[in-house]
Structure 1
Amino acid sequence: MLLYNTKSTYLFLFLWMNFQLISCAQQAKSAVKKVKKEQTALKTGADRTNLYLSKLQGKNIAIVANQTSVLHVLQRAEVAPNIMGSELVSHHLVDYLHNYDKIVVKKVFAPEHGFRGKADAGEQVKDGLDKKTNLPIVSLYGKNKKPSQEQLKGIDVVVFDIQDVGARFYTYISTLHYVMEACAEANVPVIVLDRPNPNGHYIDGPVLETEHKSFVGMHPVPVVYGMTIGEYGQMINGEKWLTNGIQCDLTVIPLEGYTHDYQYSLPIKPSPNLPNNKAINLYPSLCFFEGTNVSAGRGTDKQFQIYGSPFLNKSNFSFTPQPNEGAKYPKHENKLCYGKDLTDTEHLSRLNLSWLLKAYDQTNNKKEFFNTFFTKLAGTKKLQEQIEQGFSEKEIKASWKEDLEAFKKVREKFLIYSLYL
C-alpha cells in the first residue's frame, strides 16, 4: 500500500512538474507575443525606414524637425549570454539620417518652440548650430516663417517630421503650409513622415473664416479637424490653399496599424506647455482662454489642465502662476487665481465650451474678458458675440453644424486611414 502511494506521488509530481514547465513556456511565449504586438501595433512614418530611405540616398536633404522627431528601428543586440537577437532602439531622425550612408543632411528647419522644444509659445527662435551634429538650424518661427529660396538652394528633398496634436491653432500645420509652399516654388519635393493625431477621433468647432486667417489658423477648417498631419498636407495640396493655387510634390509615408480612433499616448511632449495626455486632450477646449483674461495654467505644473483668474469668483481651487519652462512671463504672474481643476475630467470626444461660458458668466470684469487674440483663435467673430449675447453651448454648437458637414465632405477626399466619423 505504501509502495502504491509512493509511486502515485512520484507520478503526480512528475506530471505536475511537466504541466508547470509547459505552462511557463506558454506564458513566456504569450509574453513575447504580447511584447511584439505592443511594439508592432503602430509604426509611425519615421519608423518605416524601408519606405523612404531609398528616396533619400544620394540626395542633399533638409529636415523640418523638433524634439518629437524620433524613430525606432530594430538593431541586433545580445539579449542573453551568447544569444543574439533584436531590440528596438530609439534615434532622433536628424541624428539617424546624418549618420546614414549616402544621405547628406544639409540643414534643419525648426518650428515654434525650437529644435529641442524649449522655447515659450510665441517666443522668437533664433538660428544657430546643433551641438551634436554641427548642422545649421534655421528657425521657421518669428519673422522667417517660410523657408527662403536661398535657404532651399542646393536641397534635393525636404523631410518633414513633427508631432501634431490636431488643433487648428497649434502652429505646426501652419509651418507645414509654408514649407510646402516654398518647396513648390523651388521645385523641391517634400516627404512627410506621418504621425498619429491624439485628437483625431472627433471633429468640432467653428470653421475658420478666411478674413481671420493668421499663423494660428490658416485654412477653412474647424478647431478640431480629425486628420493626421500627412492627411492634412494632402488637403492643403488638393484644395490648392498654397499661394496662387500652386501644388507641392508631396509624398506621405503612412502610419502602420493606425485608425482615427486609435488612442495614442505621445511618448514625448510636443511643446513645453502640453506635458501629458490630459493636457493634449483638453487643449482644444482650453486654448480659447488664451484669448481672454483667464489663465489656462501656464506658469504651473498643470498647464492646460486647469483654468483660473483673479477676476473670477472665489472657489475651493486656486493657483498662483510662476515663471517656469515654457512660460517665462505667465499671465497673472504671482497673482492668486480662482478657477477649476480639470485633471480628473473624462476623456473628451468633443469641444467643451462650458468652462469658457462659466468663466465669462462668473467674471467681475466682463468688458476686459476678451482680447483681440480670441477672434484669431476662434477663426470668427461670431463666437465672442454669441457668448456676450448669452447663447447656450447647445445653441452655439448648432450654429456650427452646416459648416462642419461641408468640411467633412472635403476631408473625406484626403483621408489615408479608416473613415469612421
Structure 2
Amino acid sequence: MTTVNRRHLLAGAGAAAVAVPLAGATGAPAHAETTSPRVRTGAQVLADRGWSGLSGRVGVFTNPTGVLANGRSIVDEMHESGNVDVVAVFGPEHGFRGTAQAGESEGDTEDPRTGIMVYDAYGANATSLAEMYREADVDVVVFDIQDVGARFYTYIWSMYTAMEAAAREGVAFTVLDRPNPIGGTPRGPLMTPEYTSGVGAHEIIQVHGMTVGELARYFNSELLPEKAGASVGDLQVVEVEGWRRDMLYEDTGLLWVLPSPNMPTPQTALLYPGTCLFEGTNLSEGRGTTRPFELIGAPYVDYRWTEWLTAREIPGVLFREAYFNPIQSKHVGEVCGGVQVHIVDADALDPVRVGVEMLVGLKALYPEFAWRQDAWDPQRPFWIDKLTGSPRLRTQIDAGASAAEVIAAWKRETAAFAADRRRYLLYR
C-alpha cells in the first residue's frame, strides 16, 4: 500500500509545528510516557510542561479520546498532578467516559475516580452550557476531543457551542489540538442555512480538512461574530508537534482511541465522510456489525451492486461482495446483501466520491432503494439533505445524474471554502 511506504518516509521527515505559548513558566512533566509517537498532541505538549499556563478554575470538555501517550485521561492526569484545579468536566455525545451509544449521553454525575462533577453537555445549547459554566464557576474551558474530519461528526459542533457559551460568559477557551486523522484536503458540498442541524450547524463543507484547533480559529473569526454576536476573547490553541497536512492517522504513531462506538479504526474514519451518507437511506451503514461504515447493504441488494461498482474502477478502494446480519440499528435480524469497502490505496481515496458512486449505482440497479424520511421534521424530511447540506445531491441522483455530475456541482464552493480557511491553518 502507498500509505505504508509514505509512513516510513514521514517517520524521518517533517518539521514540528510550534505550540502556541501559554502564560506561565514551563514545568517538569507530571507523568511518565510509555510510548514515543512521532507526533505529540497538544495535550501531550502541555502535560510535558507540567500543565503550565492552566490557571484558575478549569473546566474540561473531553471524552475517552482525550488521552496522553501513556493512555491515561487528561482529566485523571491533571487532577493527580496537583497543578490544575479541575472543577468540572463537560461530556459530549457518548459521554465523558464513553459509556453511551449514538444519540445518547451519560447524564449529570460525579466522576467516581476523581470526584469531579461531570455535566451532560450533549444537546446543550449555548444558554444551558453557559449556565453550567456559571454553576461550576469556571475561568477557562479546555477542549480536547479527537475529531474525524467530517462535518456531520458532532464533536466539532459541541466545540462551537462551548465556544459560544464561553464568549457569552467571558470565559477563556483553550484547545488542545489533535491531528485530523483523514488529512488536510477539503472535499464535498457546503452546508446551506436552510438545512443546518445537529449534524451540520453552520456553513462549512462536508470534509473540512482542518484540525479542531484550526476550526476553533475559523469559528471564532468567521462564524461566532455573525451567528452569536460575540467571539471568544481569550482563545488559545496548543498545537500538535510533528503533524503535516499530508499525514494520515497511521503516520502519527499515536494511539487510536474510539471517538465513538462505531468508529473502531482509523480506516473507518477514512471512509466515514462518504459511507455515512447511507444513514440517509434505507440501507444499513454497518451499525450492528464489526465493520460499521465499511459494510453497507440491505435485504434487497445482491451481487450486481459489487459488479457495477467494480466496473467503475474507483481509485483507492476495492468492493467485495458481502452478506451480513446487523444486531442493532437498521435491518436487525435480516440478512443484508451488499459490499465491504476495502481501502487499497489511502492516498488515492476520495471518500465523498466513493459514497456518491455507491448511491448512484443503487439508484440505477434497485427500485427498492429509498431515501430515509423523518416524520419529526416534515418541512425537511430527508436526512440525506441534512448530511449533504441541501436537497441537491438527492434530487440529482433521483434525476439520473452521474457521480461526476453530482460532484462537479459543488466544485466552486469547495474551492471557495478552501480559500476562506487558509488564514486559519496552523500546519503546512
| Normalised-by-shorter TM-score class | 0.7 to 0.9
Query: Which of 368, 371, 374 pairs up with 1:369?
Result: 371
User: Would the aligned equivalents of 1:202 and 1:350 in 2 still touch at CA under 8 Å?
Assistant: no
- 1:274: Cα distance to partner? 0.7
Matched with 2:199 is: 216
Give the counterpart of 1:288 among 250, 273, 277: 277
1:320 aligned residue: 325
User: Does the 8 A contact of 2:189 with 2:388 survive in 1?
Assistant: yes
Shift of 1:244: 3.5
SS at the partner of 2:36? helix
Deviates more, 1:400-409 or 1:243-252: 243-252
Change (3 A) 1:145 1:47: same
8 Å CA contact retained: 1:201, 1:349: no
**1:120 paired residue number:** 101
Q: How does 1:233-244 map to 2 (within 5 A)?
A: 233-241=216-224, 243-244=227-228
Partner of 1:4: none
Distance 1:373 1:124, change over 3 A: farther
The corresponding residue for 1:54 is 52
Q: Which residue is equivalent to 1:9?
A: none
Q: Which amino acid aligns with 1:334?
A: G
CA deviation map 1:347-398 (0-9, x unaligned): 22452221122222233324x3343211110111101001101111111111
For the pair 1:41 / 2:25, whether they are aligned, the reply is no
Structure 1 residues 90, 363: closer, same or farther in 2, change over 3 A?
same
User: Is 201-210 or 161-170 further displaced after alignment?
Assistant: 201-210
Specify whether residues 378 and 240 from structure 1 end up closer, same or farther in structure 2 by C-alpha distance, changes over 3 A only.
closer
Q: Relative to structure 1, is the Cα distance of residues 95 and 150 closer, same or farther in structure 2, using a 3 angstrom cutoff?
A: same
Cα deviation for residue 119 of structure 1 reads 1.7
Residue identity opposite 1:388 in structure 2: D
Match of 2:330 in 1: 331
Residue 244 of structure 2 is aligned to residue 259 of structure 1: yes
Amino acid at match of 1:369: W
Task: Give % identity.
Answer: 38
| Deviation (angstroms), 1:162 | 0.2
Pairing 1:203–2:186 present: yes
Paired letter, 1:354? E
Give the letter for the 2:287 counterpart. R
- 1 CA distance for matches of 2:384 and 2:397? 12
Secondary structure of 2:249 counterpart? coil
- Could you say if the C-alpha distance between residues 240 and 201 of structure 1 is closer, same or farther in structure 2, counting changes exceeding 3 Å? closer
Give the 3-state SS of the residue equivalent to 1:338 in structure 2.
Answer: strand
Q: Give 1:148 shift.
A: 3.0
Contact 1:149 1:182 in 2 (8 A): yes
SS at match of 2:271: helix
Among 59, 64, 67, the alignment partner of 1:67 is 64
Contact kept in structure 1, 2:184 and 2:246, CA below 8 Å: yes
The 8 Å contact of residues 371 and 384 in structure 2, kept in 1 or not, is answered as no
Deviations 1:315-335 (A, max 9, x none): 652111013xxxxxx111111
Q: How far off its partner does 1:41 sit?
A: 2.4
TM-score, normalised via structure 1 length: 0.81
Q: Which runs of 5+ in 1 are unaligned?
A: 1-29, 31-35, 73-88, 324-329
The one-letter code matched in structure 2 to 1:363 is Y
> Who is 1:360 aligned against?
363
Q: Match for 1:101 among 58, 67, 82?
A: 82
Q: What is the root-mean-square deviation of aligned Cα atoms in Å?
A: 2.1
Looking at structure 1, the residues matched to 257 and 228 of structure 2 have their Cα atoms a distance apart, in angstroms, of 37
Partner letter of residue 367 of structure 2? N
CA distance in 2, matches of 1:100, 1:112: 27
2 CA distance for matches of 1:108 and 1:46? 16
Choose the corresponding residue for 2:118, options 125, 129, 137.
137
Aligned equivalents of 2:172 and 2:413: distance in 1? 33
User: Are 2:62 and 2:143, in contact at CA under 8 Å, matched by a contact in 1?
Assistant: yes
Which among 142, 158, 161 is matched to residue 144 of structure 2? Answer: 161
Question: 1:401 maps to which residue?
Answer: 411
Residues 51 and 192 of structure 1, relative CA distance in 2, 3 Å threshold:
farther
Amino acid at match of 1:131: P
SS at match of 1:206: strand
Q: Which amino acid aligns with 2:90?
A: F
Structure 2 SS opposite 1:252: strand
Q: Is the 8 A contact 2:126 2:161 kept in 1?
A: yes
Shift of 1:408: 0.9
3-state SS of paired residue (2:207): coil
Would you say the 8 A contact 1:125–1:142 is kept in 2?
Answer: no
Q: Secondary structure at the match of 2:59?
A: strand
8 Å contact kept, 2:129–2:162: no
Separation in structure 2 between the aligned mates of residue 289 and residue 146 of structure 1, nearest angstrom? 33
1:194-218 Cα deviation digits (max 9, x unpaired): 0000122321111111111111002
2:325 corresponds to 1:342? no
Separation (CA, whole Å) in 1 of partners of 2:162 and 2:96: 16
Unaligned runs of 5+ in 2: 1-11, 13-32, 305-320, 374-381
CA distance in 1, matches of 2:49, 2:189: 37
- The answer to whether the 8 Å contact 1:203/1:225 transfers is yes
What is the alpha-carbon distance in structure 2 between the residues aligned to residue 281 and residue 102 of structure 1? Answer: 37
TM-score normalized by structure 2?
0.79
For 2:85, give the aligned amino acid: V
Tell me, yes or no, if the aligned pair for 1:312 and 1:364 is still in contact at 8 Å: no
Secondary structure (helix, strand or coil) at the match of 2:119 reads strand
2:231 paired residue number: 247
The yes-or-no answer on 1:390 pairing with 2:375 is no
The answer to whether the 8 A contact 1:306-1:343 is kept is: no
Q: Per the alignment, do residues 236 and 302 of structure 1 end up closer, same or farther by CA in structure 2, a change over 3 Å counting?
A: same
Aligned residue pairs, count: 359
Contact 1:287 1:296 in 2 (8 A): yes
Matched residue type, 1:140: A
Structure 1 residues 180 and 143: CA distance shift in structure 2, 3 A: closer
Q: Does the 8 A contact of 1:320 with 1:335 survive in 2?
A: yes
